Amino acid sequence: MNLDFDAIVIGAGAAGLFCAGTAGARGRRVLLLDASARLAEKIRISGGGRCNFTNIHCTHHNFLSRQPEFCRQALARFSARDFIALVDKHGIAWHEKTLGQLFCDDSSQRIIDMLDRNAARAGVKRLMQCAIAAVAKDGDQFRIESTQGNFRAAKLVVASGGLSIPQIGASPFGYRLAEQFGLEVVAPRPGLVPLSMDPAWLARYGDLSGLSFPAEVHAPGAKFREQVLITHRGLSGPAILQASSYWQWQEGTKRPLEIDLMPEIDAHAWLRQLRAGGSRAGLAGALAQHLPRRLAQQLADGTPGAGRVAEMSNRTIDEVATSLQRWSIQPAGTLGYRKAEVTLGGVATEELDPVSLEARRVPGLHFIGEVVDVTGHLGGHNFQWAWSSGWCAGMAL
């Protein structure tokens, strides 16, 4: 089959599906190709099957990128409000879970169906299980050789995502294609990923596996107040996932994270007040007023010389307060791409126009979604980037 199109979109995930539908609705003849058998698997498994499809507080401050302002224009041109309007138009019921995070009431499949129907209605031709063998540019035309035929178009959009969850088809395709055309790629690494701890830490805290508690996690350059979860491999939970994206942010530096177990109170003042009041409680009992009992016991057991609060020295109070509010955690590593929700890094934003997502040095070549060096916080921001960047490219095709 040899067919010509106005635009070819590679990757029928969140960004690619939305981009193809947007361009198709503007009368462009669009071909959408994907190597996987199943459509938009990441949308399907997202948000525990309910797709946290956007966040009402989404701004460029919710993203990591070498150029933190890059995503600002796209997010403004197609905002969370615009996507909510689309979801409402299609009668998809949703609710806010927490912190502005919007989820489908029913299932992620509703979002996939909406995007797929819109693309089909707009005349987009979609081919699945289409392995791409080669991409070349002849003059002003891109030529694609694939297992399903050879195709040509003046515009090529790369929406092949990042490296997270290779078991459902993630591939480095987009990075390799960018490099083929001489574009810089910021080294990818796993983001929003559980952290592993060393055997000594696990020997001490591993028994608390499954325990979850609210805390404020401080990473280099950011802090997050959400739940922390102790696992049999180390640490997870929303606050840790968020912090993980910043943990390796500066090349080569793996600075410890600090966890404030009592962000609502001044632990130092509280302990002194307890002592002054002649509290008969042991340290574990006192800590259990603010922490899960098992964690309180574990922390007290690890504090030499901590007997009853009433008898604690100034020095012990200082030490306990510091360990409560600046609990230093040195992760051994991350659980890698198999467990990471996103991939940090990607096609350097300096290479792209922030309005059209077109490569400045390769006319007609666009990169959208997670393949770009724009990575959101947990909570719907990554899908919003997929919608915003997909829409902007779709309007430029």
Element (H, E) at 37: none
What is the C-alpha end-to-end distance of the chain, expressed in Å? 23
Biggest CA pair distance of the chain: 86
Among 7, 8, 9, 12, binds ligand FAD (CB under 6 A): 12
CA neighbor of 124 nearest in space, from 261, 237, 8: 8
Per CB under 6 A, 15 contacts ligand FAD: yes
Instruction: Specify the residue, 130 or 300, whose C-beta has the smaller distance to ligand FAD.
Output: 130
Q: Find the binder of ligand FAD among 21, 34, 83, 102 (CB under 6 A).
A: 34
CA distance linking residue 227 with residue 214, whole number of Å: 4
Please state the φ and ψ torsions of residue 392, each to the nearest 5 degrees: -60, -45
Q: Indicate the residue among 238 and 369 with the shorter CB distance to ligand FAD.
A: 369
Site for ligand FAD in 96-135 (CB under 6 A): 132
Examine residue 373 and tell whether it contacts ligand FAD (CB under 6 A): no
Burial classification of residue 120, based on how many CB atoms lie within 10 Å of its CB (0-12 exposed, 13-18 middle, 19 or more buried): middle
From 33-41, 57-65, 111-119, 182-190, give the range in contact with ligand FAD by CB under 6 A.
33-41
Q: In Å, how far from its chain's centre is CA 382?
A: 6
Min separation Cβ 134 and ligand FAD, Å = 12
The least CB distance from residue 310 to ligand FAD, in Å, is: 48
Q: Which of 32, 124, 142, 161 binds ligand FAD (CB under 6 A)?
A: 161
Residues 162-181 that bind ligand FAD (CB under 6 A): 164-165, 169, 171, 173
Length of the chain: 397
State phi, psi for 271 to the nearest 5 degrees: -65, -40
Q: Write out the residues near ligand FAD by the rule CB under 6 A.
A: 10-16, 33-36, 40, 42, 45-47, 51-52, 132, 159-161, 164-165, 169, 171, 173, 341-342, 369-371, 380-383, 386
